[in-house]
Amino acid sequence: MDFNQKIYDIVATAESKLTAHFTSLNNVAFLNQKKVLEAFQSNNVASRHMSQTSGYGYDDIGRDTLCKLFADIFHAEKAIVSPLIASGTHALTVALFGVLRPNDKMISITGAPYDTLRSVIYGDNIGSLKDFGVEYDQIELKDSKVDLHAITEAFSKSKYKLAFIGRSRGYEWRDALSVEEIGIVIKHIKKIDPDTVVMVDNCYGEFMDIVEPTDVGADLMVGSLIKNPGGGIAPTGGYIAGSTKWVDQVAYRLIAPSIGMEVGSYAAGYMQFYQGIFLAPTTAINAVKGSALMGQVFADLGYEVMPAPTANCNDIIRSIKFDTSEKLIKFIQSIQKASPVDSNVMPIPWAMPGYDSEVIMAAGTFVQGASIELSADSPIREPYIAYVQGGVTYEHVKLATMYCLQDLLNL
Ligand SMILES: *Cc1c(COP(=O)(O)O)cnc(C)c1O
C-alpha cells in the first residue's frame, strides 16, 4: 500500500499533539504492569500452572492460581477466571443469575445495559431474569453522569437486591464512567442500603486507570477475556471478581450449587491466560494510544470524536460521528482492509443475535471477535457513530488510520 505524502503529514501533525497525553498513558501502563508483576510473584506462578488438565479438573492448580492471580490484581477477595465462560455476556449473565432470586428487584443506574444484556434481563420466554420473576428498573444518566438524586428516590420506594453499573459507553454517545465516579456512586448506594449488591460491567475498562471498581467497593466486577484483561492472547473466557460471598454464589450458578469452582478443566492449558493478563496493561494502553491518534486525526478533519483525543479514557472505545451511513460503512470497511486476518473480507450491515438494529463490524482478528484487537462496530442507526476499539500494537492502529484516510479522502 502506497500512501500519499499528505496522509503521512496529517498523521504526523496529529501525533505531535499527543506527546504529553502518551506520557501520562505510559505511566498508567507502568504502574499497572508493576501491580500485575507483583501479583505473579506473590502467587509464585510457575510452569506447572500452565499445564493442561482434563475431566473434572479436581485440584487443578492452573485454574485455582489463575483465579487467585486475578483476585490479587483487582484487590478482590475472590475471582472466577475461566475458559468455560463463553463471552462477556455469559459472565454477566451468570453473575446476575448467581445473585438474583425470584421476586428480587434489580436496578440499572447507568441507563440501558449493554445491548446483549437486555434480553437476558427482560426478554420474554427465553429464560430471562424476568421469566424467573425478577423485576427490573432503570435510571437514566443525566449529562453522562449517574443521577444520585434519582437513586435516592428510587431506593426510597423499593428495595433492590442488586444495582447494576455499566462502566463503558457501550453503543451510546456518552463518556465511560471513571472509577472515581463509580466509587462515589457505590458509597451513595451503600449508605442508603448496605445490603444492595453492586455489580459493575467492567468490559473495556480494565487497566485504563490504576484502580478498578473492586478498589472502590464493587461487590462484583465482570469482564471478558477477549477484551482488555486477555491482553490479546487469551483465546476465550471471562472473569468475575469481588467479595467471597457473592463470587461463591456466582460459581454455584456457573458450575453447580455446592460444587462451584472445585471442578472445571482445560485441555488446551492455561498459558495464554497467564501471558494475556501479564501483557494486558501494555496492550490496553497501546489500544488507547492508537485510538487517541485516530481520534486526533478525525478531530483535525472536523469530525466529532468522543472521548476527546487527549481526554482521560475510562474504556478503550473511541466514538467517531459520521454524517452519512455511507461514510460510516466505508470507515468500517477500511478498518477491515487494514487487518492482519481476513483483510480481503468486505463487512456489510447484518442482523446480529442480541442486537436491535443491524450492525456492521470490522474484526480481522486472530481470536474471533476479539475487540482488544483492532476492531470497529456500529449499529446502523442515526446518528451514525463508529465505535473503534483495540489494537494490540500502536503501529497497527496508526496504519489503519492511514487506510481510513486514503479511502475516505481519496488521497
Ligand atoms: C463486550 C461487552 C459486553 C459483553 O459482550 P460479549 O460480546 O458477550 O463479550 C458487555 N458489556 C459491555 C460494555 C461490553 O463492551
Q: What is the pLDDT of residue 411?
A: 59
For residues 408 and 303, the answer to whether their CB atoms sit within 8 Å is: no
Ranges under pLDDT 50 in the chain: none
Specify the CATH number for 5-32+278-409; select among 3.30.930.10, 3.20.20.120, 1.10.3720.10, 3.90.1150.60.
3.90.1150.60
In angstroms, rounded to a whole number, what is the distance separating the alpha carbons of residues 229 and 273?
9
Residue 63 Cα to ligand 1 middle (Å): 23
Residue that has been written with the C-alpha cell 477491515 in this structure: 336
Q: What is the pLDDT of residue 355?
A: 73
Q: Is the dihedral of CA 89, 91, 97, 99 positive or negative?
A: negative
Instruction: Identify the three-state secondary structure at position 152.
Output: helix
Pairwise CA distance, residues 272 & 294, whole Å: 29
Contact 87 CB / ligand 1 (< 6 Å): yes
Q: Retrieve residue 118's grid coordinates.
A: 437486555
**CB 65 less than 6 A from any atom of ligand 1:** no
- The CB of 88 under 6 Å from ligand 1? The reply is yes
Pick from 244, 223, 105, 216: nearest CA to 163: 105
Q: What is residue 262's DSSP assignment?
A: G
User: Which of 151, 160, 154 is CA-nearest to residue 103?
Assistant: 160
For 142, the 3-state DSSP assignment is strand
Pairing of strands 162-166, 197-201: parallel
Beta strands (DSSP E) in 68-196 are 78-82, 105-108, 135-138, 162-166
How crowded is residue 248: how many other Cβ atoms within 10 Å of its Cβ?
17
Count of CB atoms situated within 10 Å of the CB of 375? 23
pTM of the full structure: 0.96
Domain ranges of the chain: 5-32+278-409, 53-271
Give the closest residue (by CA) to ligand 1 atom 3.
88
> In the prediction, which pLDDT does 173 show?
85
Question: Which of 201, 226, 227, 316 to mutate to test ligand 1, by most ligand atoms within 8 A of the CB atom?
Answer: 201
Q: Of the residues 110, 120, 174, 224, which should be mutated to test ligand 1's pocket, given the most ligand atoms within 8 Å of the CB?
A: 224
What pLDDT score was predicted for residue 356? 79
**Residues 265, 55 contacting (CB under 8 angstroms):** yes
Closest residue by Cα to atom 12, ligand 1, is 203
**Start-to-end C-alpha separation, the chain:** 13
The Cα 68–Cα 80 span in angstroms is 8
Fold type of domain 53-271:
Aspartate Aminotransferase; domain 2 (3.40.640)
Same fold, 5-32+278-409 and 53-271: no
Q: Is the CB of 147 under 6 A from ligand 1?
A: no
* Ligand 1 pocket, residue 89 CB under 6 Å: yes
Could you tell me if the CB of 205 is within 6 A of ligand 1?
A: no
Can you tell me the distance from the alpha carbon of 224 to that of 226, in angstroms, rounded to the nearest whole number?
Answer: 6
- Ligand 1 atom nearest 371 alpha carbon: 1
pLDDT tens, position by position, 206-238? 999 999 999 999 999 999 999 999 999 999 999
* Euclidean distance between CA atoms 366 and 373, whole angstroms: 8
Residue 389 CA, ligand 1 centroid: distance in Å:
12
H-helix segments, 123-172: 148-157
Tens digit of each residue's pLDDT (9 = 90 or more) over 63-100? 999 999 999 999 999 999 999 999 999 999 999 999 99
